[in-house]
């Protein structure tokens, strides 16, 4: 809608993992280097984790573009599978034919092992990539570990790349998955972009889309996007796309701070997480203190003012255990408190005096 208005060839801020738009920050370069190192150096399990929207899948797409032609790749996008479904998916991705519909894993492992040995003899590498690996069941992770046992005397026949959210690291660190964790030969955790990288990221995507990298977003708008998005590329894309649409609707030639704030409000409202400014947060805290602390103070002050000044008379029974008696085995009564109302005591005293005078 706004692409022609701003002179763009296509929308620059989609959330599709297009490797052409990958901005190679220092962290993204390191992540890609870890993946390539693990595959080229006969790695066993290669792990890439990161928060939602930090660019794990996009880095993986860039990895696929850089792998050698003699690399056979199987990709699993939906890890919520049974063990049999896992093997069926791997064989389908690698174009391995399996006779019938085996109900056990044995036939699948046999044909997969033969395929890997043939590929290795032909100088081909085989890589299995599992996306959203934090959703894998423990049984599936254990089966993947067993697949890494397919090897020759000098080489692993299958490299497995696991992409997942930070929960995947927590899973692998559990005692029951120690054997799997020990086979991770390369791992990297992808962090959000730094504030200085957000501006470069925005300009990079606009440039790839055919626009002017320096004119579409005002500096104040970029700083605001960096603060609100917390450096998460997917959130940056949502904010920038909505901001460009807002500038187009208002017939502006660039995105200013006002349009950006409005776009952020619309995006966060859609996600159900509205954000408060500093002044709004301070006002909310002040209202909370006035609404809770002030009534509580008035209540306790009123309670103190209405407390009777008369002291309460108490009578204590003897403490247990100080008299030897034949009935020591019986339970000694606990200390009791007797409260005497002075008004009632005065009335009873007058009553006894009248009876004595009669």
Q: 270 versus 127: which is more confidently predicted?
A: 127
Round to whole Å and give the CA distance between 290 and 298: 11
Round to whole Å and give the CA distance between 267 and 261: 10
Task: Name which of 48-52, 125-129, 144-148, 318-322 the model is least confident about.
Answer: 318-322
- Residue 24 to residues 175, 201, 227, 263, 315, Cα–Cα distance (Å): 36, 9, 20, 26, 83
What integer pLDDT is reported at residue 211 of this predicted model? 86
Region 334-348: what's the mean pLDDT?
50
Region 177-190: what's the mean pLDDT?
92
What integer pLDDT is reported at residue 280 of this predicted model? 58
Round to whole Å and give the CA distance between 239 and 15: 11
Tokens 């009935």 map to which residue? 327
Q: 312 versus 194: which is more confidently predicted?
A: 194
| Chain centroid to CA 59 | 19
What integer pLDDT is reported at residue 350 of this predicted model? 52
Query: How far apart are the two ends of the chain, measured CA to CA in Å?
Result: 109
Round to whole Å and give the CA distance between 346 and 341: 9
Domains contained in the chain, CATH given? 26-190 (3.40.50.300), 195-271 (1.10.8.60)
Confidence category of residue 300, pLDDT binned at 50, 70, 90: low
What integer pLDDT is reported at residue 356 of this predicted model? 47
pTM as predicted: 0.70
Confidence category of residue 299, pLDDT binned at 50, 70, 90: low
Round to whole Å and give the CA distance between 350 and 32: 99
- Residue 357 to residues 28, 66, 350, 352, 353, Cα–Cα distance (Å): 105, 117, 11, 9, 6
Tens-digit pLDDT profile for residues 74-121: 999 988 889 999 999 999 999 999 988 888 999 999 999 999 999 999
What integer pLDDT is reported at residue 327 of this predicted model? 47
What integer pLDDT is reported at residue 298 of this predicted model? 67
**The two three-digit tokens of residue 147, written as one number:** 């697949």
Tens-digit pLDDT profile for residues 306-333: 555 444 444 454 555 444 444 444 444 4
Region 188-207: what's the mean pLDDT?
94
Query: By the 8 A CB rule, do 151 and 159 touch?
Result: no
Region 43-60: what's the mean pLDDT?
91
Region 281-310: what's the mean pLDDT?
65
What's the mean per-residue pLDDT of the chain?
Answer: 82
What integer pLDDT is reported at residue 273 of this predicted model? 45
∠ CA 7-8-14, nearest 5°, is 150
Query: By the 8 A CB rule, do 234 and 270 touch?
Result: no
Region 147-152: what's the mean pLDDT?
88
Region 51-55: what's the mean pLDDT?
92
Confidence category of residue 295, pLDDT binned at 50, 70, 90: low
Query: By the 8 A CB rule, do 89 and 76 touch?
Result: yes
Confidence category of residue 251, pLDDT binned at 50, 70, 90: very high
Strand-pair partners of 47: 162, 187
Round to whole Å and give the CA distance between 320 and 316: 11
Confidence category of residue 44, pLDDT binned at 50, 70, 90: confident
DSSP 70-139: TEEEEEES-----HHHHHHHHHHHTT---SS--SSSHHHHHHHHHHHHHHHHTT-EEEEEESSGGG--HH
Residue 47 — φ and ψ, nearest 5°?
-120, 130
- Three-class secondary structure assignment of 127-160: EEEECCHHHCCHHHHHHHHHHCCCECCCCECCEE
């Amino acid at each position: 809608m706004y692409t022609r208005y701003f002179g763009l060839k296509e929308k620059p801020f989609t959330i599709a993992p297009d490797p052409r738009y990958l901005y190679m920050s220092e962290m993204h370069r390191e992540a890609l280097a870890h993946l390539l190192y693990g595959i080229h150096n006969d790695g066993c399990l290669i792990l890439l984790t990161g928060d939602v929207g930090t660019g794990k899948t996009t880095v993986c797409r860039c990895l696929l573009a850089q792998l050698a032609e003699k690399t056979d790749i199987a990709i699993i996008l939906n890890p919520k599978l049974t063990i049999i479904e896992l093997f069926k998916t791997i064989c389908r991705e690698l174009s391995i034919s399996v006779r019938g519909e085996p109900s056990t894993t044995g036939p699948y492992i046999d044909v997969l092992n033969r395929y890997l040995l043939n590929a290795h003899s032909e100088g081909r590498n085989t890589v299995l990539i599992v996306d959203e690996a934090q959703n894998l069941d423990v049984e599936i992770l254990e089966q993947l570990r067993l697949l890494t046992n397919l090897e020759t005397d000098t080489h692993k026949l299958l490299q497995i790349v696991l992409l997942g959210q930070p929960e995947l690291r927590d899973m692998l660190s559990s005692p029951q998955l120690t054997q799997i964790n020990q086979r991770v030969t390369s791992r990297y955790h992808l962090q959000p972009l730094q504030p200085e990288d957000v501006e470069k990221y925005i300009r990079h995507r606009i440039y790839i889309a055919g626009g002017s990298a320096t004119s579409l977003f005002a500096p104040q708008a970029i700083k605001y996007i960096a603060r609100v998005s917390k450096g998460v590329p997917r959130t940056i894309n949502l904010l920038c796309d909505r901001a460009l649409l807002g500038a187009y609707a208002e017939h502006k030639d660039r995105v200013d701070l006002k349009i950006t704030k409005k776009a952020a409000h619309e995006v966060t409202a859609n996600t159900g997480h509205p954000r408060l400014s500093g002044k709004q947060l301070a006002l909310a805290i002040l209202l909370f203190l006035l609404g809770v602390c002030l009534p509580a103070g008035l209540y306790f002050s009123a309670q103190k003012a209405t407390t009777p000044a008369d002291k309460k008379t108490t009578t204590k029974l003897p403490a247990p255990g100080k008299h030897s008696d034949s009935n020591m085995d019986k339970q000694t009564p606990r200390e009791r408190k007797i409260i005497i109302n002075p008004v009632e005591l005065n009335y009873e005293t007058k009553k006894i005096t009248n009876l004595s005078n009669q």
